[in-house]
Amino acid sequence: MSMKLSTRQVDGVTIVDCSGRITLGEGSVTMRDTVRDLLAKGNKKIVLNLAEVNYIDSSGIGELVSAFTTTKNQGGELKLLHLTKKVHDLLQITKLYTVFDVKDDEAAAVKGFK
């Protein structure tokens, strides 16, 4: 299953609902383009909802890191929401879990922006 993304606005925060696989190739490119497009349009409060992401590889992990640092470098903030066990475990193994701001509740994620 390829990567699918859709965006919605909640109280000034952009929620990106992601589903499928974030892997080398199309999945990573889709993620990168979406985040860059949001930032270019001034949407700097971003939540990546990963509830439906069932697979991620090292390239996908790299894309999450890239999205996080690109957003931060442009004065924005990016959070991760609803990690599946596979993604959670990978972020733990790679010591990135504490680098990202990870939330389990969408309302709390939205309220958590400065």
Q: Using the rule CB under 8 A, is 57 a contact of other proteins? A: yes
CB of 90 to other proteins, least distance (A): 8
Q: Using the rule CB under 8 A, is 1 a contact of other proteins? A: no
- How far, in Å, are 16, 42, 71 from residue 51 at the CA level? 11, 25, 21
Assigned token pair, 65: 């890191």
Site string for other proteins, 25-44 (x = CB under 8 A): x-------------------
Orientation angle between helical segments 26-40 and 58-73, nearest 10 degrees? 10
Q: Using the rule CB under 8 A, is 59 a contact of other proteins? A: yes
> Which helix (H) or strand (E) segment is 46 a member of?
strand 45-56
Q: Using the rule CB under 8 A, is 74 a contact of other proteins? A: no
What does the angle CA 85 – CA 89 – CA 94 come to, to the nearest 5 degrees?
A: 150
Q: Using the rule CB under 8 A, is 93 a contact of other proteins? A: yes
Q: Using the rule CB under 8 A, is 62 a contact of other proteins? A: yes
